[in-house]
Amino acid sequence: MASTADIRNGVVLNMDGQLWTVIDFQHVKPGKGGAFVRTKVKNVMSGKVVDRTFNAGAKIETEVVDRADFQYLYKDGENYVFMDVGTYDQITLSPANVGDAANFMLENQNVTIALHNGDPLYVELPASVTLEITYTEPGLQGDRSTGGTKPATVETGYQIQVPLFLEQGTRVKVDTRDGSYLGRVND
């Protein structure tokens, strides 16, 4: 058992028999009344995000979650196959475990997988990845102004919004948290 003073981003809590990871927290000390901790937690399995408030000093149950480096090998039907870079053991994860990370994963890419008692929970990607645009409508001459965007499909099949002047074959940096365009990559 831990207390609310141990709450940090990335800590995994066991609440009501389910695992929740803390994605944001704030210690609040109001002028009147006792202090409390306001948190935003994400369900490890379903991805549901909820706000949760704890009184300061309250006991909370934390879980040990190991993070290991894996390499994404290939998609096998609906499932995804990964290899532990240390032991070369392969594991297969379901689409539920992979979640939105599938939109940004390329074969042979290194990822981090969170494990609880040896069971894979979810896949963590770097904050951004570089992907190539495989299809987008051609930009028109004069479409160099700021503000305009158009849809573009990247090599994983995911669709993002990019500036009007980008063309097919351009390599772009994409934020893995929300799928937003971060800039061009000049190789």
- pLDDT tens-digit map of 139-178: 665 555 556 788 899 999 999 988 888 888 889 999 888 8
Model pLDDT, residue 32: 86
Cα(178)–Cα(174) distance, rounded to whole angstroms? 9
CATH of 66-124 among 3.40.1190.20, 2.60.40.1120, 2.40.50.140, 3.90.180.10:
2.40.50.140
- Fold of the domain spanning 2-63: SH3 type barrels. (2.30.30)
Residue 52 pLDDT class (50, 70, 90 cuts): very high
Nearest Cα to Cα of residue 70 among 84, 90, 53, 89? 84
**Residues 153 and 159: beta-carbon distance below 8 Å:** yes
3-state secondary structure of 96: helix
Positive or negative torsion for Cα 8, 13, 19, 20: negative
The torsion region of residue 155 among left (phi > 0), alpha (psi -120 to 50) and beta comes to: alpha
